[in-house]
Amino acid sequence: MGAWPQRLSDNAKIPEPMTFSDQINEYNQTLVGDHNFRWGYLGEQLSRSGHDVETLLQQLAAFQVAIPSWALGTGGTRFGRFPAGGEPRSLEEKIEDVGIIHALNRSSGAISLHIPWDIPHDYAAIRQLLQANDLIIDSVNSNTFQDQSGQPLSYKFGSLCHTDADVRQQAVEHNIQVAEYGQKLGDECKTLTVWLSDGSDFPGQHHFRRAYQRTLESLQTIYNALPPDWTMLIEYKPYEPHFYSMLIPDWGTSLRLSEGCGARAQVLVDLGHHLPNTNIEQIVARLLHFGRLGGFHFNGSMYGDDDLTTGSIKPFQLFLIFCELVQAAQDAVVRNPPVAYMIDASHNLKDPIEDLLQSVQNILTAYAKALLVDTDALFDAQEANDAVRAEEVLRDAFMTDVRALVAEAIRRQGGALDPIGLYRHLSIRQQRIDTRGKLAVATGL
Ligand code: AFD
Ligand code: MN
Ligand code: MN
């Protein structure tokens, strides 16, 4: 008899394989000394300035931002694409990737799905996989900006605005079908997001008023076909893919269209869908005032729809947007439905999972800072027309280093003190490349 098996049975139990949560705990142990030092200081500082630290932690813990199924592969430009390797090849693999993100940060418990890029096949299996990863699918996105193979009519000249009633009908039916897919994915999925690429490239090409009217009627048909507890989000974008006019170029158009549909039609603000220097926080405040802010697509932007990491370029703007959201949540006058927070980014440089982890971290940071604003002092300064004081109140919160607060909120939910650090430490991208292949390319754009 060989010595090796005997030794195992004699002396030791076979060790249980480490779970992911064990790995998180083990990793956190290496960081917790330093974290406790920084958190101890910050917690004390916040308490001294009148904050209830437990409430702050709970507010951060409750905040969830949905991950788009189309962001798990590297995006590209029309000049080229440079896949990260090990990209998810199916909806199941995308769910696995979001599962990793959520396990690391405990703040990404939802997925936003794009149809037809991610049509589910085995619904029961998908629901099971979602549950195993502690995830939900909270929204579905339609796609009438591309022609799919076998599609009878083309969207080259528009979809919901098209001059041909048959094309409009095809696009309307697609949207209704997308919502039907969503309904089969679980009770939590109650949001249809509509982004139209419809528009024109040359002066005179569109009859602006007629094109608007056709779009309104198409959207009304979709809206009326949705289940009564569903919300329809209408996204706007000033240019691209069309460069003379977009059918829904701005929040005013989205607002009018949503009002024309009904109370459960709302405006979606994609941070990258504004011309440079637009005051997005004011748009957010306006929509909250009208009770029509339905959701966000977070991303970072330098010039336009750049799809950069959220908060990478304009962290102060992101903070100011969250200030509006926090103030509205505290204001009994505001009657806005719950806002759907989603990321919409996919560029061609970073590892997509690292990019998403960074985005969520930056979003949580902006939210945490907004929670620290002394709103009473701010409103007093505003009433007194004291611009300097008002700005100082905001800067006081913005300049606070809240990283230990965010880390503590994540740690208490079982997440990693440094999500990206652990992702790299475990070489998860390499594991993905090993199992899925270097050349695996995600479905999507
Ligand atoms: C577009 C829009 C929209 C759409 C996405 C597709 O932001 O949200 O779903 O890109 O990748 O620019
Ligand atoms: Mn978007
Ligand atoms: Mn976009």
Residue whose CA is at the smallest distance from ligand 1 atom 1 = 195
- Round to whole Å and give the CA distance between 295 and 233: 7
**With respect to CATH, is domain 64-372 assigned 3.40.50.720?**
no
As a whole-number percent, the residues of the chain with pLDDT over 70 amount to 97
CB 261 within 8 A of CB 220: yes
Q: What does the pLDDT look like over 332-378, one tens digit per residue?
A: 999 999 999 999 998 889 999 999 999 999 999 999 999 999 999 99
- Round to whole Å and give the CA distance between 338 and 434: 41
Cα–ligand 1 centroid distance for 366 (angstroms):
23
- Round to whole Å and give the CA distance between 88 and 169: 33
- Round to whole Å and give the CA distance between 127 and 130: 5
Phi-psi region for residue 316, left (φ > 0), alpha (ψ -120 to 50) or beta? alpha
As a whole-number percent, the residues of the chain with pLDDT over 90 amount to 91
Cα–ligand 2 centroid distance for 344 (angstroms):
5
Ligand number, closest to the Cα atom of 118: 1
Pocket of ligand 1 (CB under 6 A): 70, 141, 195, 235, 270, 297, 305, 344, 445
Cα–ligand 3 centroid distance for 273 (angstroms):
6
- Round to whole Å and give the CA distance between 419 and 354: 9
Instruction: Give the mean pLDDT of the chain.
Output: 95
- Round to whole Å and give the CA distance between 55 and 204: 56
Residue whose CA is at the smallest distance from ligand 1 atom 12 = 305
Residue of 236, 247, 297 best suited for mutating to test ligand 1, as the one with most atoms within 8 Å of CB = 297
**DSSP-derived 3-state class of residue 397:** helix
C-alpha distance across the termini of the chain, in Å = 59
- Round to whole Å and give the CA distance between 312 and 346: 14
Cα–ligand 1 centroid distance for 344 (angstroms):
7
Atom number in ligand 1 closest to CA 240: 12
pTM: 0.95
Residue whose CA is at the smallest distance from ligand 1 atom 2 = 195
Cα–ligand 1 centroid distance for 90 (angstroms):
19
Strand intervals (E) in 271-397: 293-298, 340-343
Protein residues within 5 Å, CB atom, of ion ligand 3: 305
Atom number in ligand 1 closest to CA 235: 8
Q: What is the pLDDT along the chain (445 residues), one digit of tens a residue?
A: 344 444 555 556 777 888 999 999 999 999 999 999 999 999 999 999 999 999 999 999 999 999 999 999 988 888 888 888 999 999 999 999 999 999 999 999 999 999 999 999 999 999 999 999 999 999 999 999 999 999 999 999 999 999 999 999 999 999 999 999 999 999 999 999 999 999 999 999 999 999 999 999 999 999 999 999 999 999 999 999 999 999 999 999 999 999 999 999 999 999 999 999 999 999 999 999 999 999 999 999 999 999 999 999 999 999 999 999 999 999 999 999 999 999 999 888 999 999 999 999 999 999 999 999 999 999 999 999 999 999 999 999 999 999 999 999 999 999 999 999 999 999 999 999 999 999 888 876 6
